[in-house]
């Protein structure tokens, strides 16, 4: 009886959970098999570097990534000198100096990724009133974030018959409401990869999403590795305690 109660309660609560977050209009995204999925998943360094290149050459024209610092790029496999060089490509406004003036200087590894616009209003003004959101947390800020962003980047279509688009709107089959203010950002061959990987929209979308997934959860690999050790420890410890408990209780049975 007891175990039946427990099983029933568990089962019911699972049904409750799994359906609890399934609200809203339902759009299915293609299910990509990411290397970072699952309890042993890791990021693919080559994909991260390619994805960073796509972000740098395409997305960063409109989207900032304020939560990421140039120094964090070491996780992508860049060494210190490479990171210094990347950072120095940007002019960062600093100050005020001793005379009270703001000044521009080359970026340093400790700087945050430079945003394309000085403030949100400038971002809106340049994009027909729609603000390109910061991408640092984008993958965590959407349901099934990685699959979603990949789908979004490859989901541009001509609008179906009878759908009117306003100036600056574009039709995307995966965007909620379908009318998005971002023009299709990717085109075949727009970025030339140094490692010889083919330059297709699909490949760019996979790579840049991979990079954004890292940016949203830079701790992911460490987290999962720690998790496996912690769980192994707890399982052994629990087993041991169970044995001790059995031993103690055997006297009273």
Partner 1 sequence: MASGPRQKFDNPVIEWVDSRLPIFTLMNKEYGVFPTPRNFNYFWNFGAIAMVMLVTMIVTGITLAMHYNTSTAGAFDSVERIMRDVNSGWLIRYLHMNGASFFFIAVYIHIFRGMYYGSYKKPRELLWMLGVLIFLLMMATAFMGYVLPWGQMSFWGATVITNLFSAIPLVGDSIVTFLWGGFSVDNPTLTRFFALHYLLPFVIVGVVFLHVWALHVTGSNNPLGIDVKGPQDTLPFHPYYTMKDMFGILVFLIVYVAFVFFMPNALGHPDNYIPANPMVTPAHIVPEWYFLPFYAILRAITFDIGIPFTDIVFIEAKLGGVLAMFGSIAMLFILPFLDTHPIRSATFRPWYRIALFGFVVVFLILGVCGSKPAEGFWVPLSQLCTLLYFAFFVVAIPFFNKKEPVAELPPSIHQAVLTSQPVAAE
Please state the closest distance from residue 227 (CB atom) to partner 1, in A: 3
What b/e readout covers 150-165, taking b as 16+ CB neighbours within 10 angstroms?
Answer: bbbbbbbeeeeeeeee
**How long is the chain?**
253
Among 16, 96, 100, 196, binds partner 1 (CB under 8 A): 16
Closer to ligand HEC by Cβ: residue 108 or 190: 190
Q: Is 179 helix (H, G, I), strand (E, B) or coil?
A: strand
**Which DSSP string corresponds to 95-163?**
---TTS--EEEE--TTSBPPPSSSSHHHHHHHTTTPPPPP-TTTTTSSTTHHHHHHHHHH-B-PPPTT-
Residue 219 in contact with partner 1, rule: CB under 8 A? yes
Work out what residue 39 binds among partner 1, ligand HEC, none; the CB cut-off runs from 5 to 8 Å by kind: partner 1
Find tokens 């179906």 and name the residue: 160
Please state the closest distance from residue 54 (CB atom) to ligand HEC, in A: 6
What are phi and psi for residue 100, nearest 5 degrees?
85, 10
* 155 neighbors 172 (Cβ within 8 angstroms): yes
Q: What is the CA radius of gyration of the chain?
A: 24
According to DSSP, residue 69 is labeled B
Work out what residue 159 binds among ligand HEC, partner 1, none; the CB cut-off runs from 5 to 8 Å by kind: none
Please state the closest distance from residue 5 (CB atom) to ligand HEC, in A: 43
Work out what residue 235 binds among partner 1, ligand HEC, none; the CB cut-off runs from 5 to 8 Å by kind: partner 1
| Residues within the interface to ligand HEC (CB under 6 A) | 54, 58-59, 61-63, 127, 130, 132-133, 138, 142, 149, 152-153, 180-183, 185-186, 208
**Binding region for partner 1 (CB under 8 A):** 1-2, 5-6, 8-9, 12-13, 15-17, 19-24, 39, 67, 72, 133, 136-137, 140-143, 145, 176, 216, 218-219, 223-224, 226-228, 230-231, 234-235, 237-238, 241-242, 244-245, 248-249, 252-253
């Amino acid at each position: 009886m007891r175990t039946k109660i427990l099983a029933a309660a568990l089962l019911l609560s699972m049904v409750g959970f799994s359906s609890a977050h399934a609200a809203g209009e339902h759009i299915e995204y293609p299910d990509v098999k990411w290397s970072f999925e699952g309890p042993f998943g890791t990021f693919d360094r080559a994909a991260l570097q390619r994805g960073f290149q796509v972000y740098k050459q395409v997305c960063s024209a409109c989207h900032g990534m304020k939560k990421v610092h140039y120094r964090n790029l070491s996780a992508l496999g860049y060494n210190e000198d490479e990171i210094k060089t990347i950072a120095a490509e940007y002019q960062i406004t600093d100050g005020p100096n001793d005379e009270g003036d703001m000044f521009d200087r080359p970026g340093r590894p400790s700087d945050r990724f430079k945003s394309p616009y000085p403030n949100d209003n400038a971002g809106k003004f340049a994009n027909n009133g729609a603000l390109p959101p910061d991408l640092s947390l984008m993958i965590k800020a959407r349901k099934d974030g990685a699959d979603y962003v990949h789908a979004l980047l490859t989901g541009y279509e001509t609008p179906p018959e009878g759908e009117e688009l306003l100036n600056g709107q574009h039709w995307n089959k995966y965007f909620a409401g379908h009318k998005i203010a971002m023009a299709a950002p990717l085109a075949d061959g727009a970025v030339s990869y140094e490692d010889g990987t083919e330059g297709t929209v699909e490949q760019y979308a996979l790579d840049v999403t991979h990079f954004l997934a890292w940016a949203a959860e830079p701790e992911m690999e460490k987290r999962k590795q720690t998790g496996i050790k912690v769980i192994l420890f707890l399982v052994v410890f629990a087993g041991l305690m169970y044995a001790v408990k059995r031993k103690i209780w055997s006297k009273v049975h």
